[in-house]
Structure formats: structure tokens, C-alpha cells
Amino acid sequence: MLTPIGRNVVNRGLPLVCAMGIALCAPSSQGHIVPPEDLHPTAESFRRIEFFLNLNPVPWNLVAEDVDLLETQLTLIAPTAATRFRSAVGGDMDLIDPEKAETPMDSGASREAARRVFRESTMAVAATLLAYLDSAEHQLKDTRTASSGVETARRVWASFEHEIRYSDPIAFRKLGEAWLELSSALLMSVKAKDEANPGAKVAFEEAATSIRDYVNGNFGPGFEMSESGRLRALPRGSDTFQADAAIPVKLPPGHNMNKQLPRPRQLLNMAERGIDEKDTILIALGDMAFDSPYIFGEPARSLQISCNTCHNKSITNPGFIIPGLSVRAGGVDVSSSFFAPFANNGHFDPLDIPDLRGIRFTAPYGRNGRFDSLLEFVRNVIVNEFNGAEPDPTLLDGLIAYILEFDFLANPYLENTGQLNEEASEAAHRGERIFHQPFDGFGGNSCAGCHVPSANFLDHRRHDIGTVKGSGPFSRDRALDTPTLLGIRYTAPYFHDGSQTTLEGVNLWFNDRFSLGLSEAELKDLTAYVETVGDGIEAYEDTLHTLEAEMEEFSFFLSAYEYLRQSGKSELIEITFSTIALEIHAHKWDVQDSAYLPVLNLMAELMEEASNEQIAGRTKAVDAIVAEYRQLHDEYADRLK
């Protein structure tokens, strides 16, 4: 029965299976939060090693950590093989200088070492898997021990699964059945207890043999890689291997791209003034582009990374991390070989993700203030950091129009001059006096000399405060743009590299570095002041249920459709539809009443269909679909929450 779904859905001939699937999942306010994969330590380390060895330059210190973990795991089940592995990679690992995070970019020696380490690591994983499988087979009489061995072997198998799924789909299925056969045979033996179960034993042995042969034949001692290109564990020895298969990029274990919950409250200046967002077309287009991975190139597009992934609702996403590209959560190296190899700057320089609130007041842009123009900065992000095509000027204008609307949080403790008002605490007022106090260590300047209170706590200049490691002893490449202190309570970690986790830590660092001579009490007061300046009203939304707001925002995206149609911006229309479809699919699992999942599915399908019709140039059909989408949204808006 489709009671909640209504006429439109039924009229479109929603398949019965979808209708039956309406209550499949328990409602969750965090449905769009993707949990990390539950991988065996061996699989985790191997997948990270693969990711690291394909970076340029290779982060050898990280590789070494995971090589150690691989060895540790192998030692648990096959000590002799572990010794052989250590001996095989030892020469390359010994070359690592623990003081250095990387070797010189793309050196021939580094590439050769990477190939050797990858080959040996692949074989070590295969050895681990086979040792657990053999162990299980030798202990078939003890079914529980055997089950544990099989389960461990299967989890180690996950090291290779992604590549096999795409490059050898026939074997992927066949071996998937073999793993099922192993667990099945063991569970049947458990059920049968001590009774002889020769059928199960034979089934087990046959399945184990097929897995063993495949792993040995492809990833065992004869494992070979292609002469060039990405280092990958591909099953080249398999008869059904497809050499030309496209294998989607996968981020290493330990990554996190989930956005924070509760969601930061976003302040758009025109919305704060009561202007209907649907009347601000260019801003609507920019809002869509900010949420769209389709303005970027590969691999960001496939990984569904958009501006909003890192700058969630305009502020820092403190949980964002990609091992190998980040030192810590909340930062990433966007000038590495991963996102846009052609724009690789050749050294590891992850940056703390900046808060974009109040961005129209915070020029110059980039941590080192390398761009005076926001337009140039945003274009550089799209084209050179995330490998996107040259953006349409209208899209770029839209993004700028949208970003310029980001407001600072209102702060009830600050006068327009930037001075604290009487609502602020005594400690904060004492801290304010310290903030304005000249220090010898600052060359007679005060904190307020750079963080000018009347200018949104900025001086729009670049200073070398000693946090950047330069290219040489007397190099002049260490200056950073002065960051604002507004909203800073919500943007931890701090400094360009996120090396300070608290504001107290930041003040301590300044006190030590510049010999300010502040007492413990004074430091506390100064911290109270900075926290007060960095405070804001309702920094986060007060609900975990975000679907209703998201659906409203998607309608806002669509409000640019007519303008784009008149302007002949077909590509931008297509990006808009595809982005809405993608976003609905990402957020639909948040729906509190799963009976409305089919409505959300249908809305996503409509956008996908509209995108296809747009590509085919059937504008009347597109008009009709857009009208239908809007009608659905109007009809169900109060229930899609």
C-alpha cells in the first residue's frame, strides 16, 4: 500500500520492489554519515601502503609504519615468512631518514624502492591470508578455531577485493562463493557436532583450494606489476583478468570525509536580511556549485568531494582527514600529486582548512595570502587543486556571489569597534588589556597590532611568526596571512598546519616563542578574551535532522534553472540536475519516516532523467520534469524531514 506516497509516485509506475522496500531501514538522523570500513589490520596497512607508494613524493615515514604493522601481523601466523618479508624490504626501509617525512620528488631511486616495497608487501599479505587459510584447514576438527581462521583469512582477502571486483569480476564472484562455501561447511559441521560430515569437508577443501590457487597464482611469489603507471595488486595471472578495466579510486583506511553533526549554522547575508533565496539566482547557482563535485575533475569528482566537504556550511570541517595527505584531522595537502598531478608542488605541505565565514572581509586569500583576488583563488581551487575543467564564467561568478554572502557569526560581546562590551566577563576584559599591551618580543607591537579589532581582527598583511619551515636557513618563504579571530572558538585546530588544538595552546606558544613574559593568570585572561572574541550566537543548528533544510536548499539550486535556460548554459543546467540527484541520494537516509524514501528516490530519479534529457537537447521534456519535481517537493516538503 502506497498511502503516504501519493498519486505522482504511483503514476510514474514505481516498481513494486521499491514499494516493498519502504521500511527497510531504521530511521536515522545520521544516515548520511558513512562509517569507516571494518578492515583487518593487514588489509588496512596494505591499502594505506598502496596509497602512500603512489604519492609523489612518497611519504616513506608512513610507509615504514605500515610495513611494520604488516610484519607484526604476519609474525602472528607465519614467523618465517615475516622474517623473509623484513629482510626483503629492510634495505629500502633502512634508507629512510626518520627526521624526514619524504624523499625528493620522483627520484628514480624512490620509484624503484616503491616498486620493491609494494611487491614485497603484496606477497606478505598473500602469505598472511594463506597461512590463516592453511591453519583453518589443518584444524577442521576444531570447527570454532577453523572458523576463526577462515574469518581472518577472508578479512585479509579484503586487501585485494577492490581491484579484483573491477578487473576480474568473474573470479570475484566465483571466489565470493568459495568464501561462502568455507563458512557454510564449517557451520554445518558445528551443527552436526561430532557426527562425521565428509560432504562438508570435501566442500571446504575444494573451496580452499580455489582460493589458494588464485591468491598464489596472482599475488604469491610470482607477483608482478605493470612496468609503468599506478602500483596496484592486480590479478594479472588470472585467465579472466581484464587489463583495460577501469578501477575507481579508493581513499586509504583512516580517511574521513563526513561532515560534522550538529551542522554549523550558516549565515548568508541576504537571507539574514529576509530576502527570499529563490530571488537571488546567481547566489543559488553558486550554492549549487559549492555543493557539487561535478565542478571538479578526477579523482575528487568520483570521491564526491565538493567545496562543502571541507568547508562544511562555510566553516572548517574539523574531522576531514586523508592519511598521506593530512598530518591531522582538519587539514589536507591540496598541492600534492593526488588530486591534480600536473599541479603537484613536489613537497608535503598540508594546510589547516580555513573558515570561510566573513570571507569578503578577509583578503588576501590562501594561508600565505598568495591571492589578492577571491575570483582567482576560487578558480585556482577548481582547476589546479582539484583538477577541474576551466569553469564557465557564470558559474565562477555564482560561486563568488555565494561565498561573498558568508557572514561572521553575530557576537553579543563585541561593539562595532571590536571592543568588548559590558556583557563580556571580567577575565575577558583583563585579557583585552593584555591584547592591546605592547610587548618587546613583538618589537613593541601588541597582539592587536596584527589582529586589529576595528578591522575584524585583521591587518590584511603577511607575517613570519616562525610556524613555517622554510626552504632554507635564510629563505623568505615563511610568511602567513593574519587570520581573523572572529568565530575562532569553532575552528580548531589552529595555525596554518593545525598544530595547536586549543586557543590556550596558541597563547602559550606565543608566550614562549616571543618571550612575552605572561603569567599563568594573564594567559588565562588572554585566552578568555580570544574565546570571547571568537564566540558567536548559535554557532550550530539545534537539530540533528537536516533533511528538510537540505531539500529546501535543493529547491533553491533549482531556482536558477530558468535563468540558465534563457542564457543557454546547458552544461550548468546539467551540473545542477546531477548535483541535486547526488545530494538527494546522499541525504535520503536521514529521513525520519522511511515511508517517504520512495518519494526521495523518485525526486532523485527525476533529476537524473532531467540531466539526460538536457544532454539530448529535449528542453520541453526538461521543463516538464522540473515542474514535476517542484510539485513533488511542494506536496511533500513538510514530510521530507
Partner 1 sequence: MKVSLPNFSHWFPIFLAALLPALPVTSSEVKPKSLRIVFIAYENPDQLLENVEPVVEYLERTLDLTVKHFVATDYAAIVEALRNETADAGFMGPLQYVMAHRQAGAYPLLGEIYNGRASYVSRIFVRKDSGIRKLADLGGKTIAFVDPISSSGYMYPLDIFRQAKVLEGAPELFFRKIYFAGGDEQSIRAVYNSFVDAAGIGQYSYNLLRPAERDEVVSIAESRPIPSHCLVARKGLHRPTAEKLQKALLALNDDSENRHLLKFLYNVDGYVKVTHADYSEVEEIGKSYGFIK
Decide if residue 430 touches partner 1 (CB under 8 A).
no
Decide if residue 16 touches partner 1 (CB under 8 A).
yes
CB of 629 to partner 1, least distance (A): 19
Q: Which stretch binds partner 1 (CB under 8 A): 15-23, 247-255, 480-488, 632-640?
A: 15-23
Please give the distance of CA 450 from its chain centroid, rounded to a whole number: 33
Classify 233 as helix, strand or coil: coil
Query: Quick one: 206 or 423, whose CB is closer to partner 1?
Result: 206
Query: Quick one: 1 or 17, whose CB is closer to partner 1?
Result: 17
Q: Which stretch binds partner 1 (CB under 8 A): 187-195, 283-291, 384-392, 421-429?
A: 187-195
C-alpha grid cell for residue 214? 588464485
Query: Quick one: 61 or 183, whose CB is closer to partner 1?
Result: 183
Strand positions, DSSP E, 292-385: 331-332, 351-352
Dist. CA 625–CA 619, nearest whole Å:
10
Helix pair 108-138, 198-219: axis angle to 10 deg: 170
Dist. CA 417–CA 419, nearest whole Å:
5
Dist. CA 434–CA 448, nearest whole Å:
9
CB of 581 to partner 1, least distance (A): 12
In the shown chain, the binding pattern of residues 134 to 163 toward partner 1, with x for contact by CB under 8 A and - for none, equals ----------x--xx--x------------
Dist. CA 484–CA 362, nearest whole Å:
7
- Please enumerate in sequence order all residues whose Cβ is within 8 A of that of 141, keeping only pairs 6 or more positions apart, or say none: none
Q: Which stretch binds partner 1 (CB under 8 A): 22-30, 50-58, 211-219, 336-344?
A: 22-30
Q: Which stretch binds partner 1 (CB under 8 A): 130-138, 171-179, 457-465, 470-478?
A: 171-179
CB of 190 to partner 1, least distance (A): 5
Alpha-carbon dihedral sign for residues 483, 484, 487, 489: positive
Q: Tell me how long the chain is.
A: 641
Nearest C-alpha neighbor of 493 from the set 483, 506, 508, 511:
506
Nearest C-alpha neighbor of 464 from the set 492, 488, 442, 491:
442
Among 1, 17, 196, 243, binds partner 1 (CB under 8 A): 17
Decide if residue 183 touches partner 1 (CB under 8 A).
yes
Query: CB of 121 within 8 A of CB of 46?
Result: yes
Decide if residue 21 touches partner 1 (CB under 8 A).
yes
Query: Quick one: 35 or 229, whose CB is closer to partner 1?
Result: 35
Decide if residue 38 touches partner 1 (CB under 8 A).
yes
CB of 136 to partner 1, least distance (A): 13
C-alpha grid cell for residue 255? 580517511
Dist. CA 409–CA 489, nearest whole Å:
11
Query: CB of 451 within 8 A of CB of 457?
Result: yes
Decide if residue 198 touches partner 1 (CB under 8 A).
no
C-alpha grid cell for residue 611? 540531466
Dist. CA 102–CA 104, nearest whole Å:
7
Decide if residue 42 touches partner 1 (CB under 8 A).
no
CB of 134 to partner 1, least distance (A): 19
Decide if residue 2 touches partner 1 (CB under 8 A).
no
* Partners of 462 in beta bridges: 481
Cell 607575517 identifies what position? 463
Decide if residue 473 touches partner 1 (CB under 8 A).
no
Query: CB of 70 within 8 A of CB of 85?
Result: yes
Question: Does 198 sit behind a cis peptide bond, omega within 30 degrees of 0 on the bond before it?
Answer: no
In the shown chain, the binding pattern of residues 591 to 610 toward partner 1, with x for contact by CB under 8 A and - for none, equals ----------x---------
> How far lies 437's CA from each of 233, 301, 482, 488, in Å?
61, 49, 18, 21
Query: Quick one: 16 or 243, whose CB is closer to partner 1?
Result: 16
Decide if residue 13 touches partner 1 (CB under 8 A).
no
Query: Quick one: 183 or 425, whose CB is closer to partner 1?
Result: 183
Among 18, 101, 450, 452, binds partner 1 (CB under 8 A): 18
DSSP class of 243 = T
Site for partner 1 in 557-586 (CB under 8 A): 585-586
Among 10, 25, 245, 627, binds partner 1 (CB under 8 A): 25
Among 10, 95, 109, 190, binds partner 1 (CB under 8 A): 190
CB of 125 to partner 1, least distance (A): 19
Among 12, 138, 141, 191, binds partner 1 (CB under 8 A): 191
Query: Quick one: 40 or 357, whose CB is closer to partner 1?
Result: 40
Q: State the number of binding residues for partner 1 (CB under 8 A).
A: 38
Dist. CA 227–CA 221, nearest whole Å:
17
Query: Quick one: 150 or 486, whose CB is closer to partner 1?
Result: 150
Decide if residue 256 touches partner 1 (CB under 8 A).
no
Query: CB of 529 within 8 A of CB of 428?
Result: yes
Phi/psi of residue 526, nearest 5 degrees: -65, -40
Decide if residue 188 touches partner 1 (CB under 8 A).
yes
Query: Quick one: 32 or 379, whose CB is closer to partner 1?
Result: 32
Q: List residues binding partner 1 (CB under 8 A).
A: 16-18, 20-21, 24-28, 31-32, 34-35, 38, 144, 147-148, 151, 165, 172-173, 176-177, 179-181, 183-184, 186-188, 190-191, 585-586, 589, 601
